Structure 1
Amino acid sequence: MIVRVLVTSVLVLAVASTTAHAADPRFPDWPCTQAKVPEISLAAVWGGPPLDDVQNKWKDDARISALVAKLAARKTPLDEAEKLVKEFLAGSAANKTANAKLLFAGLFDTLNAQRSQVMNGLERVSRKQRDAADKIREEAIQLQALQGATPRDEAKVEALSNELIWKTRIFEDRHKVVRFVCEVPTSIDQRLFALGRVIQQEME
């Protein structure tokens, strides 16, 4: 009974996941209900001066590189990150605009890279989940055949039942993690937008 309930829940999750994928055929492995946007658009998060002249130059400035790493880290609370931006730019004086541009360029590159890493990881897990659901379905059919066999091999029935319970629980745990991680790209978007706004305000 326990096996049947667990397997049924897996199949329901698998069907729901497949339905979500069908919503956008361009990204068949994308497991989230949120639409997949592969990269953050610079225009959506930055209304300041053009960044063409800074490009990767932020990496050459040790202070800015260190600050970018701290600001981009999700363990740094957003209000603390905003405070650090203000303190840094307040002490920039004549170089404020240049430093502000370098700082945002670094944040844009770093957070976009973080976001891509998270999204790629989600799609890898999604592929594993589809494979896992297929295997659980196949083993559920095998279990039904063993249960209906005459004579019935109780040792094999118990072994396969236990394996199915274990695999199904792993599947469900991964599904819960995926739902949580699906929120991360959005939180990165919001972080970049918020920090970009503070940087622009400090430039004025």
Structure 2
Amino acid sequence: MKVLAMAVVALALSGTAARAADPRYPDWPCTQAKVPEISLAAVWAGPALDDVQNKWKDDAKVSALVAKLSARKTPLDEAEKSVKEFLAASATDKTAKAKLLFAGLFDTLNAQRSQVMAGLERVSRKQRESADKIREETIALHELQGATPRDEAKVEALGNELIWKTRIFEDRHKVVRFVCEVPTTIDQRLFALGRVIQQEME
């Protein structure tokens, strides 16, 4: 790879790593706006949950179902079916069970979402550090190539290292773009399951 091309790549990578959509969250790497927590009002229009907060953990059946429904490997249609079956079997105390179930889902999915977002910001900081190193090494390579006499072994070694680091950076960037969709997917899952729970309570 030519020095000029590498320099352009390094500068482009540096800009990509440093750019933040919202100055309040300088490490947030996604084009989607960062919403730190899901608002309860945005996903739940049912009865107040004040009287069931944390109590869902004390109900073994609810806890087990929350774990299953919260897992992204569980297809949404299967999760919705499980909600309906659970609440149909809870006819005598359906409202109480429904509230416990949604409280558990809200807590669990919000926690999942926070973990994903914290991971994205950690990777973003690493990307910024990587971009700085790539830029510095590109300048160093340029100096080596212009030196007299020119040390071909050092030029080749640093050039190969830069190509390798650039590939790692680009691969990580692709993963970040994919993971940026996860918080939105969690939002949608919680909203969909909340809607089914509310419909089954009516």
TM-score (norm 1): 0.95
Give deviations 1:63-111, integer Å, cap 9, x for gaps. 1101000000000000000000000000001110000000000000000
Query: What is the aligned partner in structure 1 of residue 37 from structure 2?
Result: 39
What is the alpha-carbon root mean square deviation over aligned residues? Answer: 1.2
- Show structure 1 runs of 4+ deviating over 3 A: 2-7
Residue segments in structure 1 that go unaligned for 5+ positions in a row: none
Matches of 2:139 and 2:97, distance apart in 1: 63
Alignment of 1:49-128 (within 5 A): 49-128=47-126
Q: The residue matched to 1:141 in structure 2 has which SS?
A: helix
Query: What is the aligned partner in structure 1 of residue 28 from structure 2?
Result: 30
- Asked if structure 1 preserves the Cα contact closer than 8 Å seen for 2:66 and 2:104, the reply is yes
- CA drift of 1:13 comes to 3.5
Query: What is the aligned partner in structure 1 of residue 154 from structure 2?
Result: 156
- CA drift of 1:16 comes to 3.4
- CA drift of 1:25 comes to 1.2
Matches of 1:184 and 1:196, distance apart in 2: 18
Letter in 2 for 1:195: L
Residue segments in structure 2 that go unaligned for 5+ positions in a row: none
Matches of 2:55 and 2:4, distance apart in 1: 59
Count of residues in Structure 1 that have an aligned counterpart in Structure 2: 202
Matches of 1:3 and 1:118, distance apart in 2: 37
Letter in 2 for 1:132: S
TM-score (norm 2): 0.96
Matches of 1:77 and 1:12, distance apart in 2: 39
Query: What is the aligned partner in structure 2 of residue 11 from structure 1?
Result: 11
Give deviations 1:11-43, integer Å, cap 9, x for gaps. 324313433x1x311100000000000000000
- Asked if structure 1 preserves the Cα contact closer than 8 Å seen for 2:17 and 2:131, the reply is no
